[in-house]
Structure 1
Amino acid sequence: MKAVRIHEYNKPLSLDEVPKPKISGPYDIIVRIKGAGVCRTDLHIIEGVWKDVINPKLPFTIGHENVGVIEEKGNAVDWLDIGDQVILHPYITCRHCRACRSGNDMHCPYGKFPGLDGTDGGYAEYLKTSAFSAIKIPKGVDIIPMAPLADAGITAYHAVKKIAPYLYPGSIVAVIGVGGLGHIGIQALKAITPARVIAIDINEEKIKLAKELGADEVIIAGKDGGISDILKLTDNVGVDVVIDFVGEHSTPQNALRMIRKGGIYSIVGYGGEFRNTTLDFINREIMVVGNLVGTYNELSELVTLYVQNKVKLKLKTFPLEEANNALEELNSGRILGRAVLVPG
């Protein structure tokens, strides 16, 4: 089968012919990939950002946002059928540890992350994963556009759901970055919270998209990243929450200056850093929250919102063979929404 694999860091991916995966355990499934989302994390993998964190063994097939059709299954899988179309949670967990049993799937210390940790992912014609990672999608639903929900979608939804208990009618949330995750985050905020949403981006086309998706206010970030506009809109008080879908360059520092006393800084994007005095955190009682993907249940909830047409995805598709082109367009900021690879 065809698979797009990383052989060396900071080099283009290679389109290889590799053996089709085989069932090796009772709960395995083989999925014929219909769509594989192209994620900024894939760029970070190629750049070697994850090398010092998990040190994956090269080469391997990347791709962790996957949808497809079950082609084979292990003999213990009795709740899914051959031919079912599914979306796949990106993390394969043990289901037995304390994290798994408490619903914190992403913190399972024994899990595997296909497409990231050296386990083969979904930039391919077929993928082997666990049946426990699969969520069945109703027949008649086009699953290809759903691929980004498997990571970009649940990461944004997870971030929104974590802050939802702190929001009330009149709360204000600023969303920094209306990219692949941010445009989903705006919709999730409008779907499950009563908050007023202010979207911030440097790109006018993305700002237009934010307005179309329900943002109450939009700001084209200037030299100060939108700080002055936020303070003007909030009578110099600041917003209740900032969700930072960029997480690099100046956005972390800007976010801290937008938040009111007792507010929350929710970090989703990564790659940068911020400096602040401990006194400021104490004096303003700012809460800093990290977000790592999301749980199986959250993906199931997000799928429901998608099927109900409460969350939509802006999408651009590429043939599997054009993976490097898709990544280059993503890296240069030319993708509005998300990109998805479609095997032939």
Structure 2
Amino acid sequence: MKAAVLHDYDEALSNPVFVTYEDVPDPAIKGPNDVIVRIGGAGVCRTDLHVIEGIWRSKVDLALPHILGHENAGWIEALGKGVTHLKVGDPVICHPLITSGHCLACRRGEDMHADESEFPGINVNGGYAQYLRTGARSIIKLPETLSPKDVAPHTDAGLTAYRAAKKASRHLLPGEFAVVIGAGGLGHIGIQVLRALCAAQIIIVDRADMALKLAQECGADFAVKADGSEVDEVLRLTKGKGAEAVIDFVGEGDAVAKGLAMTRNAGFYYIVGYGGKIDIPTIDMITSEKTIVGNLVGTYPELIELMALADQGKVTLATREYRLEDANTALHDLHHGKVRGRAVLVP
């Protein structure tokens, strides 16, 4: 099969070629619960850039050469002997983790905390290819209204945004405020989820005019330019108190400090983006009673819930399609802020 393959790390992201389009062996069924998916769409994520930078080397056992791609959807191509609920040709979306289902975390539905797991695109070969090996536990059948290439980024970007926004929606009441920092690939999804699940007023903060416009199209009530005065503007909109919930899809640079400053006393700061650090004096934590919540990718049931919203037209993805052989162009466009929403590779 054809695949876009990572051969070398690039810590500065300065090389013109990140991945090489080449022939590689087809993935094979290894166990009775394995599934081979013919890829219909593979999302291009900023995490892919972090893998190329080498940031994930300290977190996972990753051997090069490696096939990126952890946001995958397509059609069933082949099934292990133990898989009876799927058939060849079924349109499907893949939860990003492959797990056995035997450990306590899996039985509680928290597969992302499984004792043992494979993460296609992160520690095993992913979907920047024509075919992908995954597990039957990871597969969700798609309704007829949804095409694999149109929903593939939901498997990480959408699911992660959904998980954070769902947590926030549980305590947001009418008349309260939610701030979303970053209206890019995750943020534009988070806005729609908040709009679907609660009645809070939504303030979006971003430095890019393209992202702010997209945010307003997705249902944001207020768009604030991240030009150095964003904290003051959010405090003005919230009458000096800050927002009950702040969801930070950036998580680096000065976004963290500003996100905490936008969070009102007894409010919740949800951190999704990564690369920075949270540094807050303990006395400030005590006196403000703010809650800081980490957010990993969501659960299998949450991906089903998100597909229900997508099926109803309440959450849609802004996507830009690239051919699989143009994976380098997609990655460079993402790196340089040229992608509106999410990029998707289509074999």
TM-score by length of structure 2 reads: 0.96
Bigger drift between 323-332 and 273-282 goes to 273-282
2:197 is the counterpart of 1:192: yes
Q: For structure 1, list consecutive stretches of 5 or more residues without a partner in the other structure.
A: none
Matches of 1:249 and 1:291 in 2, distance apart?
18
> 3-state SS of the aligned residue for 1:262?
strand
Aligned equivalent of 2:82: 76
Cα displacement (A) at 1:218: 1.1
Matches of 1:55 and 1:78 in 2, distance apart?
32
Superposed CA RMSD:
1.0
Question: Any idea what the Cα deviations from partners look like across 1:145-172, whole Å, max 9, x if unmatched?
Answer: 1010010000000001122222112221
Q: Do the aligned partners of 2:145 and 2:311 also contact (CA within 8 Å) in 1? A: no
Matched residues, percent identical?
50
2:57 corresponds, among 51, 54, 79, to 51
> 3-state SS of the aligned residue for 2:285?
helix
Matches of 2:172 and 2:344 in 1, distance apart?
33
Aligned equivalent of 1:123: 128
Matches of 1:140 and 1:216 in 2, distance apart?
29
Q: Do the aligned partners of 2:244 and 2:267 also contact (CA within 8 Å) in 1? A: yes
1:158 corresponds, among 154, 163, 166, to 163
Cα displacement (A) at 1:140: 5.0
2:341 is the counterpart of 1:337: yes
1:9-88 correspondence runs (5 A): 9-10=9-10, 12-88=18-94
Question: Any idea what the Cα deviations from partners look like across 1:270-307, whole Å, max 9, x if unmatched?
Answer: 11113210100111011001111110010111011001
1:315 corresponds, among 316, 319, 324, to 319
Cα displacement (A) at 1:96: 1.3
1:253-332 correspondence runs (5 A): 253-332=257-336
Partner AA of 2:187 in structure 1: G
Aligned equivalent of 2:216: 211
> 3-state SS of the aligned residue for 1:232?
helix
Aligned equivalent of 2:174: 169
Aligned equivalent of 2:99: 93
Aligned equivalent of 2:232: 228
Cα displacement (A) at 1:92: 0.8
Partner AA of 2:5 in structure 1: R
Q: For structure 2, list consecutive stretches of 5 or more residues without a partner in the other structure.
A: none
TM-score by length of structure 1 reads: 0.97
> 3-state SS of the aligned residue for 2:117?
coil
Q: Displaced runs of 4+ in structure 1, greater than 3 A?
A: none
Partner AA of 1:83 in structure 2: G
Partner AA of 1:48 in structure 2: G
